[in-house]
Structure 1
Amino acid sequence: MADFLLPNMHTPQNAVQKRLAGPIHAERHVRVICIGAGASGLLLAYKLQRHFQNFSLTVYEKNEEVSGTWYENKYPGCACDVPAHNYTWSFEPKLDWSAVYAGSREIYDYFNGFTKKHGLDKFIKTKHQVSHAKWNDSKAGYDVQVKNLRDGSTTEDYCDILVNASGILNNWRWPAIPGLHDYKGTLLHTANWDPNIDLRGKHVGLIGNGSSGIQVLPTIQPHVEQVTTFIREPTWVSPVQGLEQHVFSAEEKEAFANKPGELLDYRKNVERGLNGQFGIFLKDTKTNTETHAYMKAQMKEKLKNDFLEQKLIPEWAVGCRRLTPGVGYLESLGKPNVNVVYGEINKVTEKGCVCDDGKEYPIDVLICATGFDTSFKPRFPVINGEGKNLQDEWALNAESYMGVAASGFPNYMIFLGPNCPIGNGPVLCAIECQADYICKLIDRYQTHNIRTFAPTKDAISDFVAHKDEFMKRSVWADPCRSWYKAGTQNPDTITALWPGSTLHYMEALAALRMEDYEVKYQGNRFAWLGNGYSQTELDDTADWAYYIREHDDGEPLSLDVRRRILNKSGTVASNVGVNFSGKDTGGDQVQSKI
């Protein structure tokens, strides 16, 4: 059978002749380049290694080590806002997380350990940054320029399929405040943290109350002389009921490690609860209303300050901005050495910040917890056959095909592209879904005589129109300032999120819709039929009469039956209103969410 694994022959005539000489679905060699060895890139490497043969893969990673954002972010208090036991691959649990919300170092260790366990290092080149990719029409693939960050040299590589797994929250940026770099004290950004900095005894200024700022404050507050935190807008800060921070005891870790089913049951209950939150994001649902009341009460109880309650508790709906558990944050705002300045910073001077109250606030260290460029534009030029750069195409409004591909850019796939479920519910299962989808496309490309594939403009236009209509019913369209809306001409356009739940996304991407793609072939589109032999006949160890049976045990032919088998329909008494312990809390019926 190995004789019919086709090499990648870039002369179209030779490639077609080779395919015609082989059996149906002969696997030609496919060359894949992946940009980024964060969670997504590592998963793609794992999936290709597990499911494919006759391929080559190089994962280029700009950092010294793998794990992406969890290698890069080392600021005090850096953690994930997803429960740790559910911030793992569905098939790869970790037994010994320290707490419900684990720190960045633990998460780095998980992904680094995943890399070592499965031998993925052989695919990865660290300290190598992709700087340019251009479509080569004669070869039907991409010429890719790669800079070696160790010696500064640049090399050329080539791939049939280019996968961008560089992520969303990795291109950090300074805030656009006049005079910022005139500041004479120590200037830091949370995403570019100096591990040698000593904050003890210092007066620290902290700009921002997004996720990173919320994590930094309670971590540094006990150790500094004073913190002046600059906040310009309210935000919802509280864990969802049932997912409060909790440090796992030795007994709990022992049970997770050694009691059969204990950890699986825990993970499933948390995941069911996370998936059951989707009603929060739809206007006027019972889940949204009850969560609003719960979080408001929690914030008032922790703030215990009329001024802060008035300024920091939003009027807009829960979920309009990304929710954060904010462990210890609200309590820290009331500490004697914390000064809250609410409003805009007009400028930064050599000594500190001048705010719209007219006062200057001198500080020793200024920490900018001000986030990332979330416009979805690639960080390097991606040039198609018409000379168009995807950076320019997405300069004002990033429009993708279901978060995984771009019109007009053939053989180019994306992890966590525009309008994927980055904030709709559990996220790693969505990345798994995208990896499976990309692998299905690679499989189709490899076993057919496909030259190029890319989603059509019409398909993306229809998807975007559906998405925009759906968003009108979501809380994400409320008048809050959110990176979910970044990079668009219309501030009400939601570019980051999927129009549905995470489970909805997984079902939407379960099968390829090739009718949404423009597919071009090398030679006759039926050349994949080959020389008339099946793959089965070429396998001497296969049962050449496998279809002769005593009863019908074939796979279901309907989507409905396949889905019910996959999701084990009928095995759970009821998911209506379950909380994270698996108990019924009387939440929304599914029908009321639609």
Structure 2
Amino acid sequence: MPSYDRADKPIHEPRQLKVICIGAGASGLLLAYKLQRSFEKFELTVYEKNEDISGTWLENNYPGCACDIPAHAYTFSFEPNPNWSSVYAGSKEIRQYFVSFASKHELSKYVKTRHQVSKAVWDEIKGVWDVEVANLADGTIIRDSCDMLVNAAGVLNAWRWPTIPGLQDYKGTRLHTANWDESVDLTGKHVGLIGNGSSAIQVLPAILPIVDRVTTFIRTPTWVSPVQALESRKYTDEEREKFVNDPQTLLKYRKELEAGTNGIFPLFIADSAAQKATFESMSAIMKEKLQREDLENLVIPTWPVGCRRLTPGVNYLESLGSSQVEVVYGEIQKITEKGCVSNGQEYPFDVLVCATGFDTSYKPRFPVIGTKGKNLADAWKFEPKSYLGLSVPDFPNYFTMIGPSSPIGNGPVLIAVEAQADYMLKIMNRWQTENIHSLSPKMEAVEDFIAFKDEYMKRTVWERGCRSWYKNNSISGKITALWPGSTMHYLEAIADPRYEDWNFKYVGNRFAFLGNGFSQAESDKTADLAYYIRDKDDGPLISRVKQMKVTSKSGSVSLENARDVIVV
């Protein structure tokens, strides 16, 4: 058992903290930034399997790949980008945002690319994670260890081929949107496109100008409409120049977009006024763009808006009605050497494009072994259960970025990632400044949270009759991906750790952190020993309600411009 002797040190003297993060996408880079900004005496290694940083935005480079929310609402809260070229930025532009973020804050020193974590085992005696890492450049195996292990590999990261019989029999060129081969020339080709999720919706209009024709296979209808009714367009030179030279104009615009994205949440409540109004308006918009009654019956859902993730679908509906496009509705029975068989008919083509998504079971792709040899893949075999999307019982000092039950489809996502990083660092701060061996959420706390979540989901559109990755690509399964509330609800829910929900294990006396009786201020020769004396009370408010009124700038919106409060 390790020993943390603090007898000769002031209260809360930090010990060395070693963190391993898996993945250098948006979440991993943010964790590195926040750890660097707030901590001393730490060591961080971010293992990234790809040849460079930025995760999904490096991996996804299929034609038309773009963010499905406005780009100015897809930045870290503190790191605006005045140079977005359009409302919905493409993947390469988004990737450059994260590359620039890493460069600006000198985060690359923490990252080891082409290194893939292959195993992680908790050592109960030492209180560390033993981590096995494959060096993909030379095939060697590295053995590392850490006090805190953060899995930031992402939820939409493990792409998969469709489970359709005969896939391997196809003799033409086969592509997956998440593993796109840019050397393949689609010019003049007949393309078969499987799927009508976000990726397929972006691919179709992007390839249509160069291909001869497309046969697109659609299994279910889906809602297609711009977020907040914001159609895609390029920003003018004048707009971009103003964003660069007038930060307040940019801030105002960003806040409007963010508030609009947060304001969408009421439509996710089944049978709400917002849901009913949105259903009618989106149906009308889709009909106007399709201009074909036969396609309306195939494409426009009868289930509520938001049951599946919404997508802007720039020019998708218009493309479906093109003379170059053949829409085949229904299940694909099998894939042959020449094409796909659906409804008993074979449809041949030159190139097969599978926009068939990802493994969203949340099970890690490598063994994660916690206390008493428990494997996380086994624990999550039937249902992935996390504590507030952040951590797992029986897996001490282990955290998940955007784990199960996170607000990944409830509103703005990057601010939720920021909140998760802050929460993890609060836990790490306690570990670093106290005699804590390890900590993990209590099983009963997780079970209570899951029970609350399941009951809440009954009132939402996510439980209605659509196939969605929110419920592991099923129609009637449990909602395992989403938070039971809005993104803003999540920010308040995890603002302060509920330490009563955690099992703490100490080394020696839990009050050993009190040390030699001196404060941190007294041990700093440059500190003000009367820092608490002031001429007015500017200290933080104690009650949550008053804190939030200050944080949310209550009263800053005039009553004339105040929104209606949605009560469901």
After superposition, the C-alpha distances for 1:27-84 in whole angstroms (9 at most, x for unaligned) are 0001000000000000000001110000000000000000000000010000010110
Q: Which of 128, 131, 153 is equivalent to 1:141? A: 128
Output the amino acid matched with 1:45: A
CA contact (8 A) 2:228 2:260 kept: no
Q: Which of 349, 355, 371 is equivalent to 1:363? A: 349
Distance 2:533 2:309 in 1: 54
Q: Which of 520, 528, 533 is equivalent to 2:518? A: 533
Residue 561 (1) aligns with residue 546 (2): yes
TM-score by length of 1: 0.94
- Report the 3-state secondary structure (helix = DSSP H, G, I; strand = E; otherwise coil) of the residue aligned with 1:101: coil
After superposition, the C-alpha distances for 1:554-578 in whole angstroms (9 at most, x for unaligned) are 2212112211111111111259886
After superposition, the C-alpha distances for 1:98-146 in whole angstroms (9 at most, x for unaligned) are 1110000000000011111110000000000000000112210100000
Distance 1:432 1:454 in 2: 21
Shift of 1:491: 3.3
CA contact (8 A) 2:269 2:275 kept: yes
Identify unmatched segments of 5+ residues in structure 1: 1-10, 579-588
Residue 30 (1) aligns with residue 17 (2): yes
- Report the 3-state secondary structure (helix = DSSP H, G, I; strand = E; otherwise coil) of the residue aligned with 1:261: helix
Cross-structure match for 2:438: 452
After superposition, the C-alpha distances for 1:319-366 in whole angstroms (9 at most, x for unaligned) are 0000011000000001111100001110000010111x2110110000
Distance 2:30 2:224 in 1: 31
Shift of 1:287: 1.3
CA contact (8 A) 1:275 1:425 kept: yes
Cross-structure match for 1:239: 226
Shift of 1:487: 7.6
Shift of 1:401: 0.3
Distance 2:549 2:499 in 1: 24
Q: Which of 415, 418, 424 is equivalent to 1:438? A: 424
What does 1:380-459 align with in structure 2 at a 5 Å threshold?
Answer: 380-459=366-445
Q: How many residues align?
A: 568
Residue 523 (1) aligns with residue 513 (2): no
Cross-structure match for 2:486: 501
- Report the 3-state secondary structure (helix = DSSP H, G, I; strand = E; otherwise coil) of the residue aligned with 2:535: coil
Q: Which of 452, 466, 479 is equivalent to 2:465? A: 479
- Report the 3-state secondary structure (helix = DSSP H, G, I; strand = E; otherwise coil) of the residue aligned with 1:531: coil
Output the amino acid matched with 1:154: I
Output the amino acid matched with 1:417: G
CA contact (8 A) 2:467 2:473 kept: no
Distance 1:171 1:277 in 2: 29
Distance 2:278 2:143 in 1: 53
Residue 550 (1) aligns with residue 535 (2): yes
Sequence identity (%): 60
Distance 1:392 1:491 in 2: 22
Identify unmatched segments of 5+ residues in structure 2: none
Shift of 1:492: 3.3
Output the amino acid matched with 1:462: D
Residue 277 (1) aligns with residue 234 (2): no
Output the amino acid matched with 2:15: R
Residue 104 (1) aligns with residue 91 (2): yes
CA contact (8 A) 1:172 1:373 kept: yes
Residue 12 (1) aligns with residue 2 (2): yes
Cross-structure match for 1:8: none
- Report the 3-state secondary structure (helix = DSSP H, G, I; strand = E; otherwise coil) of the residue aligned with 1:56: strand
Distance 2:561 2:269 in 1: 16
Output the amino acid matched with 1:566: T
Shift of 1:456: 0.4
Q: Which of 573, 577, 581 is equivalent to 2:558? A: 573
- Kindly report the root-mean-square deviation, in angstroms, between the aligned alpha carbons of the 2 structures: 1.3
- Report the 3-state secondary structure (helix = DSSP H, G, I; strand = E; otherwise coil) of the residue aligned with 1:432: helix
Cross-structure match for 1:511: 496
Say if 1:436 and 1:340 are closer, same or farther in 2 by CA, change over 3 A: same
Cross-structure match for 1:4: none
Distance 2:534 2:198 in 1: 58
Distance 2:34 2:319 in 1: 44
Greater Cα shift, 71-80 or 535-544: 535-544
Output the amino acid matched with 2:418: E
Residue 161 (1) aligns with residue 148 (2): yes
What does 1:294-373 align with in structure 2 at a 5 Å threshold?
Answer: 294-355=281-342, 357-373=343-359
Output the amino acid matched with 1:531: N
After superposition, the C-alpha distances for 1:280-301 in whole angstroms (9 at most, x for unaligned) are 1001222111111111001100
Say if 1:148 and 1:499 are closer, same or farther in 2 by CA, change over 3 A: same
What does 1:184-199 align with in structure 2 at a 5 Å threshold?
Answer: 184-199=171-186
CA contact (8 A) 1:33 1:58 kept: yes
Distance 2:8 2:440 in 1: 28
Output the amino acid matched with 1:222: P
After superposition, the C-alpha distances for 1:394-431 in whole angstroms (9 at most, x for unaligned) are 01100000000001100000100000000000000000
Say if 1:487 and 1:371 are closer, same or farther in 2 by CA, change over 3 A: closer
Output the amino acid matched with 2:285: Q
Distance 2:560 2:258 in 1: 11
Output the amino acid matched with 2:16: H
Shift of 1:260: 4.0
CA contact (8 A) 1:396 1:487 kept: no
Residue 590 (1) aligns with residue 561 (2): no
Shift of 1:86: 1.0
Say if 1:307 and 1:242 are closer, same or farther in 2 by CA, change over 3 A: closer
CA contact (8 A) 1:170 1:372 kept: yes
After superposition, the C-alpha distances for 1:186-205 in whole angstroms (9 at most, x for unaligned) are 00000000010100010000
Cross-structure match for 2:452: 466
Residue 249 (1) aligns with residue 224 (2): no
TM-score by length of 2: 0.98
CA contact (8 A) 1:272 1:575 kept: no
Output the amino acid matched with 1:464: I
Say if 1:285 and 1:474 are closer, same or farther in 2 by CA, change over 3 A: same
- Report the 3-state secondary structure (helix = DSSP H, G, I; strand = E; otherwise coil) of the residue aligned with 2:326: strand
Output the amino acid matched with 2:420: Q
- Report the 3-state secondary structure (helix = DSSP H, G, I; strand = E; otherwise coil) of the residue aligned with 1:536: coil
CA contact (8 A) 1:437 1:509 kept: yes
Output the amino acid matched with 2:484: P
Output the amino acid matched with 1:414: T
Greater Cα shift, 524-533 or 65-74: 524-533
Cross-structure match for 2:364: 378
After superposition, the C-alpha distances for 1:375-411 in whole angstroms (9 at most, x for unaligned) are 1111111001210100111011000000000011000
CA contact (8 A) 2:69 2:227 kept: no
